[in-house]
Every structure is written in structure tokens, then in C-alpha cells.
Amino acid sequence: MFKKHDVRFPAEGGIELSAWLFVPEGQKQPLPAITMAHGYAGTKYHGIEPIAEAFADAGFVVLVHDHRGFGESGGEPRHDINPWQQITDWRRAISYLQDRPEVDENRVGLWGTSFAGGHALVLGATDRRLKAIVSQVPTIDGHTAGSRRVSPENVAHLEELFAADDRAQLRGEPLATQVIVSTETAQNSSYKATDAVDYYLKKAPPGLWENKVTLRSTRWARMYAPGEWVDRVSPTPLLMLVAEHDHIAVTDLALKAYERALHPKRLVMLKGGHFDPYEREIETASRAAIEWFGSHL
């Protein structure tokens, strides 16, 4: 059994990040803890709460935060995804957990999924406060993955949009935006695959999420290559959860990154595609993560 608390903690720029804190009941001494966050344009409402609950049931204090500009967190502009800012904010989440009286500050692990699975690799490589890392269906190389989603004949048009947005910002105009998911071929969007559309729209929290992201978020995503950090996570233990048929955080890129990782490491293959770890494969994914955190925290 556990109690769930709504909490907020400060981040750079005078904003506050919104989070849920899950605390196992009956604790008599500080417990190991896990800090969690969702991926690209996701919030804590997008299907990861059951995983946090499984961790709390297993005896971990769990913190799940919304990235700035999303969900119930502060920050302007809204719907803006700068991976390095998100990583900086996540360090604040780690510090917040360490300062909680319920938490053993020397036993903190991190769980990230999708775009935040990439953040998990960067943080695992650069923040030795973390004692175990779980990177689920992670972004590895935004340029390579993006090139598979955007056909070569459309790249020039995308670059024109980026350039026009930059010049508009110079003139003080609002940031250009695009939708996150759409099945319409002519509409500029982050994802067009049916499983992505279904997941984002089905899990969308009413009033707390819009199908919108800044255009420059796409440029940043295409520049982001967290897989470059994978061999630096060691000696922190790394578990990678990879979906067999992932066309979002592409399977072969994740497997190649795992091969570059140093020990201690473990790979668990999940059935299905990118969004199955939140649904059909959630029990397998959660159990593997609990075993990993249990062994190393």
C-alpha cells in the first residue's frame, strides 16, 4: 500500500514543476527511490502511473514529474521541448527526492521512457548520484530516426519551415507550432503512425494536454543523439527495455546502442511496438524494472 501526493518543486527560471510522489505506507526508515518522467510531449497522465504504482507497491518512493511547459508544470513557452532543459530540470527532481525525509539519498534510481529514455542515458552518464538506470524504448539518434520518418523529398521543405521560424523569432513573432499526431499526409506533424495517433489521443488528459508542439522542438529532436552517451553510463547499472517492432525509437538503433554500453548492463526485449510497454507489455516491463532496481538500490 502507498499514498499518492501532489507536490511541486522549483526549477530554473523561477518556475515550479508538478509531480506525483508515491510513498509506501508503514515505512520506519528512509527508502530507496525512483524518479520518473515521460517522453516527447507526454505528461504523467499518459499511461505511466500504473508503472509508478507498481514501483511503490514494491517498496520504492516514486516521483513522477511533468516536464516544464507540459501538464501541470509551469514554464513558458508552452509545448516547447528542449531536451537539455528537460535534463537540467530532471536534476532538480533528483535533488528534490534526495531532500525528502522518506528517501535514502544514496539509493536513487531513474526510469525514463521514449524521448526521456534518451534522457536516462545522458543523466546516467553524467550524474553519479544515480545508482541504477532504466531506459525504456529510448530515443538514440534523433537525426537518423527522423530521417526514417521524413521522406527525403520533404526534408528541404522542413528546413524551410525551420528557417522561416528562426527569422520570425528574430522579429519578435510567436513561435511556430505543429500538431504532434495526425493521419493527414499533407499536415506537418511529429508522428503519423496509427499507433502513435491512438496512444497520444486516447491517453490525453482533458484540459491538460493539447495536440501541439513548437516547430523548433522538431529541430531540437533531430539534433539530439543521447545514444552517444551510452558507453559512459557504466559503472552505473543500466537496464534497457527495447520493443521488437519499434518504428518510433527504432529497434535496431537501440540494439546497436546496447552493444556499445559497458557492464553492468541488461537487455530485455518486449513484444510489439513503441507503445506496448504502457499497455500489453506493461507487466513484463514493470517486472523487469522492479527486479533491476531491487538488485541495485
Residue 292 amino acid letter: W
Task: Pick the closest to residue 225 from 247, 204, 246, 250 (CA basis).
Answer: 250
Q: Is 230 exposed, middle or buried (0-12, 13-18, 19+ CB in 10 A)?
A: buried
CA-CA-CA-CA dihedral for 200, 288, 20, 189, to nearest 10? -20
Residues in the chain: 297
- Tell me how far apart the alpha carbons of residues 239 and 288 are, in angstroms, rounded to a whole number: 9
How many Cβ atoms from other residues are within 10 Å of residue 166's Cβ?
Answer: 13
Q: What's this model's pTM, rounded to 2 decimal places?
A: 0.97
Cis bond leading into 138, ω under 30°? no
215-223 helix and 142-149 helix, angle to the nearest 10 degrees: 120
Digit-coded pLDDT (tens) for 61-105: 999 999 999 999 999 999 999 999 999 999 999 999 999 999 999
The answer on pLDDT for 153 being more than 90 is no
Share the mean pLDDT of the chain.
96
Confidence check: pLDDT of 186 > 90: no
Residue 30: phi and psi, rounded to 5, are -55, 140
SS3 state of residue 277: helix
Topology (CATH) of 2-145+224-296: Rossmann fold (3.40.50)
Residue 151 reports pLDDT greater than 80: no
Predicted pLDDT of residue 202: 87
CB 227 within 8 A of CB 143: no
Tell me, what's the pLDDT at 185?
Answer: 83
How would you label 167-203 residue by residue, b for 16+ Cβ within 10 Å and e otherwise? Answer: eeeeeeeebbbbbbbbeeeeebbbbebebbbebbeeb
Across residues 244-258, what is the average pLDDT? Answer: 97
